[in-house]
Amino acid sequence: MLQEENRITPILLLGYGNLARGDDALGPMLLENIRPWIRQQELPVDLLHEHQLQAELIMDLRERDLVIFIDASAGINSAIDFIRVEPEENSSFTTHAVTPGALLKTFIDMYAEPPPLTYFMSIRGYDFSIREALTQQATDNLALAVEFLKKQLIKEITESAGEPA
């Protein structure tokens, strides 16, 4: 599908994490792994890699139908977790604590319009020390996350087109 010039695509995948901190790179690595498939399928999807979430990212959420935040996590018990994000207040005074929910709340406050449908995908990581390679367990979880996300994207695109999934 060819995009109109300067047209924002309806879907945004936003992977974040530090490429120099081992498994913390899972979010950006998922983007790199899924990029060829998205191009091959000609899907209306933008990919955005960030080191961490910042309030300025709300500008990237405008005119989207679907946003999926992707990050590594040591705090889940499964290989991946996929949950719907709702707007939430952020009482933190540090940018290191910005959450996807806080971004959605800021979006509403700033633009006075509902945010896009938003999900958060966590991928289980194990070692966040300074190192460039993923652990083997994280690499295995990344492969599962890529396959899950492919199915989720097809489902969302099919449903938004009014076709049964």
Q: What is the pLDDT of residue 1?
A: 35
DSSP states along 63-115: T-SEEEEEEEESS-SSSEEEEE--------SSGGG--HHHHHHHHHHHHSSPP
pLDDT-wise least confident of 1-5, 43-47, 146-150: 1-5
State residue 89's pLDDT score: 87
The torsion defined by the Cα of 17, 19, 21 and 25, in degrees rounded to 10, comes to 50
Query: Is residue 165 scored above 70 in pLDDT?
Result: no
Q: In the prediction, which pLDDT does 2 show?
A: 37
Q: Do residues 153 and 39 touch, judged by C-beta distance below 8 A?
A: no
Contact 44, 1 (CB under 8 A): yes
The full length of the chain comes to 165
pLDDT at residue 163 in the model: 66
Tell me the per-residue pLDDT of 114-140, one tens digit each, with 9 for 90 and over. Answer: 999 999 999 999 999 999 899 999 999
Its pTM stands at: 0.92
Amino acid, single-letter form, for residue 144: L
